[in-house]
Amino acid sequence: MPATDSYQGSSSPLTSFGRSILSIRRDQVPTMDGSHDPTNQELELETFQKQVAEQFNELSSAGPDELLSLSWVRNLLDVFICCQEEFRIVLFNNKGYLGRPPMDRLIGEFYERSVKALDVCNAIRDGIEQVRQWEKLLEIVLCALDNQKALGEGQIRRAKKALIDLLIGMLDEKESNAALAHRNRSFGRNNGSSKDQKNLGHFRSLSWSVSRAWSASKQLQTMAYNLSAPKANDVMATNGLAVAVYTMSCVITLVMWALVAAIPCQDRGLQIHFSVPRQFIWAPPILSIYERILEESKKRDRKNACGLLKEIHQTEKWTRQMNELLDSLQFPLSEEKEAEVRQRVEELKPVFGTLKDGLQPMERLVREVFHRIVRSRTEGLDSLGRGGGQDFLILASGLCKRMDFDGKKDGISDAFLAQSCRLFSIACRAPVSWEVAVVQHKVPDSHRCVAEIFAQKLPSVFLAYFAL
């Protein structure tokens, strides 16, 4: 498996998932130009759509408390990875179509879309980092208020400072500058402490790793732009493959949109044109998720949220309430007030725990999504570039020439065996006997003798490759 070994440690189940499917399908022996048994292909495409539908059905069945929770978003990412993996296999089994119109255009558009998704992934990674900064501030609040000692003014002050940093940090970027001034005025009113005010605004939000001009909102719009169901003749011409590409385009667009909805990122915005004809079996759950998130974003208290993630919402709400509570305190603290504060602290703990345990795995998943998209794209470009069976012909004729020239039959060099092995592995990633290739590509008779010798030598090479 290329490229991703070093960071796959955490998500190896997914890797083995992909691998196992590949190995299951090996016995189907895909042919060189990828146009295997049409009924088989139909079945496969149908299975793919069904799987996408099933996965999203499960996601869309989440209750209102689950939707947009950290664990739900992680499920969403898992689902994406599964779909991506399935899609990869579909493409792999249908390589032969990729280079031909209209498939070349459709797959090209898909890859363009996926590059846009890569930027969303990077922006989301920044956003998760942002949330982790908030988690650290929550930790300070807990450190100040959740201890054995009686709650003193100092601890309250310490907690309050962290809370205010948190509130400012959580404001949507667009309004943060204006709000900063406003909050500075309104937060400092407690017991005339000018110090609180002075200490404000030290919490600088992290800068984004993308350019200032980059906008998640625009990115999503361009991803959704021209995302329309394939035309009947395209579907016909690609033997249905166009539908799979459309399915995956919708999946990737929805997933990226949902991530932007949930996680803070640069110039967030959810206005996209997203409509899917309901006749696709996966359309209802995907549309339901889309509509539910959209609805959530329109709720009054979520309109200006920096992210719809449940835990962010809870944190924000809690922070605001806690801030008000702390503002209202008179010292020395009455027992009931202290109990109230402690009660609130207890409320924070589960949210804090979820953030503490869930953010890093989520960040890794986002990264994994990134790597999967890149890999699938690279593989696609590779198989597009490989030029189908042409290489085998060149290989065969090259061998013929060489042998004619050398005048001996066993003149096949190791270099050629190595190269042919590479071609095989890139082109099919499955053991395909040379004879199959010869027959499939109508290798001229004169080349057949070479092919035979080749086939004799090849198994050992293949064994070496597939043993790894």
Partner 1 sequence: MGDSDSTSNGGEEKLIAVARHIAKTLGHSDSMTDDILQIFSTFDGRFSREKLSDAATMHAASPAAALDDCLSSIHRQISHAISSDAPIWLDPAESSAFLDAVDDLVATIRDFTPLARDNQAVAAALDRAEDLLQQALFKLEDEFRALIRRGTDSFDSARPGSLESSDSESEDGLPVAHPVTDFNIIIDALPSSTINDLNEIAKRMVAVDYGRECSHAYSACRREFLEESLSRLGLQKLSTEEVQKLPWPELEDEIERWCNSAVFSLRVLFPSERRLCDRVFYGFPTTADFSFMEVCRGSATQLLNFADAVAISSRSPERLFKVLDVYETLRDLMPEFELLFSDQYCVLLRNEAMAIWRRVGEAIRGIFMELENLIRRDPAKSAVPGGGLHPITRYVMNYLRAACKSQQTLEQVFEEERERGMAPASSLSVQMAWIMELLESNLEAKSKIYRDAALSSVFMMNNGRYIVQKVKDNELGMLLGDDWIRKHNAKIRQFHVNYQRSSWNKVIGVLKVDNANANANAGGSLKDRLKMFNSQFEDILKTQSSWVIFDDQLRDQLRTSVSENLLPAYRNFIGKFQTSPEAGRNPDRHIKHKCLFLSFDLKSSESKRVVAKYI
Residues 214-233 that bind partner 1 (CB under 8 A): 214, 219
Neighbours of 325 (CB within 10 A): 16
Measure the CA–CA gap between 163 and 157, rounded to whole angstroms.
10
Residue 394 engages partner 1 in binding (rule: CB under 8 A): yes
Nearer to partner 1 by Cβ, of 301 and 410: the residue is 410
Shortest distance, position 257 Cβ to partner 1, whole Å:
17
Residue of 235, 417, 439, 455 that binds partner 1 (CB under 8 A): 417
Q: Which of 89, 381, 436, 453 binds partner 1 (CB under 8 A)?
A: 381
Within 13 Å, how many C-alpha atoms sit on residue 96's CB side? 17
Q: How many residues bind partner 1 (CB under 8 A)?
A: 74
Pick the binder of partner 1 from 13, 63, 65, 211 (CB under 8 A).
211
Q: Which of residues 435-464 bind partner 1 (CB under 8 A)?
A: 461, 464
Q: Does 385 bind partner 1 (CB under 8 A)?
A: yes
By CB under 8 A, the residues from 299 to 358 that bind partner 1 are: 332
Q: What backbone phi and psi angles, to 5 degrees, belong to 68?
A: 70, 10
Residue whose CB is less far from partner 1, 291 or 404: 404
Q: Which residues of 291-313 are buried (b: 16+ CB within 10 A; e: fewer)?
A: eebeebbeeeebeebbbbbbbbb
Contact stretch for partner 1 (CB under 8 A) within 54-62, 147-155, 277-285, 439-447: 147-155
Residues 256-275 close enough to bind partner 1 by CB under 8 A:
none
Least distance to partner 1 from the beta carbon of 136, Å? Answer: 6
Q: Which of residues 82-101 bind partner 1 (CB under 8 A)?
A: none
Out of 50, 202, 342, 349, the only residue in the binding site for partner 1 (CB under 8 A) is: 202
Residue 12 touching partner 1 (CB under 8 A): no
Helix residue spans in 232-334 (DSSP H): 232-237, 241-262, 283-298, 310-328
DSSP 345-411: HHHHHHHHHHHHHHHHHHHHHHHHHHHHHHHHHHHHHHHHHTTTTHHHHHHHHHHHHHHHHHT-TT-
| Residue ranges in 96-125 that form contacts with partner 1 under rule CB under 8 A | 115-116, 118-119, 122, 125
Instruction: Residue 167: name the closest of 144, 196, 146, 193 by CA.
Output: 196
Q: Name which position in 59, 92, 131, 161 contacts partner 1 (CB under 8 A).
A: 161
Binds partner 1 by CB under 8 A, chosen from 6, 39, 177, 330:
6
Among 71, 239, 425, 440, binds partner 1 (CB under 8 A): 425
User: Can you read off the two tokens belonging to residue 387?
Assistant: 């030029």
Q: Which is nearer to partner 1, 272 or 276 (CB)?
A: 272
184's tokens:
């500075």
What is the 8-class DSSP label of residue 168? H
Structural tokens at position 46: 């149908």
Binds partner 1 by CB under 8 A, chosen from 157, 320, 448, 457? 157
143-151, 292-300, 341-349, 436-444 -> range binding partner 1 (CB under 8 A): 143-151
Rounded to the nearest whole angstrom, what is the least distance from the CB of residue 209 to partner 1 in the complex?
5
Spell out the residues 6+ positions from residue 431 whose beta carbon is closer than 8 angstroms to its own.
26, 462, 466
Out of 43, 181, 418, 449, the residue judged to bind partner 1 by CB under 8 A:
418
User: Whole-angstrom Cα distance, residue 265 to residue 283?
Assistant: 27
Residue reference for tokens 């599964």: 82
| Stretch of 14-22, 132-140, 166-174, 250-258 lying at the interface with partner 1 (CB under 8 A) | 132-140
Between residues 1 and 236, which has the closer beta carbon with respect to partner 1? 1
C-beta of 126 vs 452, nearer to partner 1: 126
What distances in angstroms separate CA 191 from CA 153, 317, 325, one per listed residue?
A: 11, 24, 14
Question: From the CB of 415, what's the least distance to partner 1, in Å?
Answer: 5
The set of long-range contacts for 345-349, using a CB threshold of 8 Å and a minimum separation of 24, is: 345/141, 345/142, 345/145, 345/146, 347/318, 348/138, 348/141, 348/142, 348/318, 348/322, 349/142, 349/146
Q: Which of 174, 189, 198, 298 binds partner 1 (CB under 8 A)?
A: 198
Using DSSP's 3-state secondary structure scheme, residue 65 falls into: coil
How crowded is residue 338: how many other Cβ atoms within 10 Å of its Cβ? 16
Asked whether position 3 contacts partner 1 by CB under 8 A, the answer is yes
**Residue 310 beta carbon to partner 1: minimum distance, rounded to whole angstroms:** 25
7 is written with which tokens?
């960071």
Least distance from partner 1 to the Cβ atom of residue 14, Å: 16
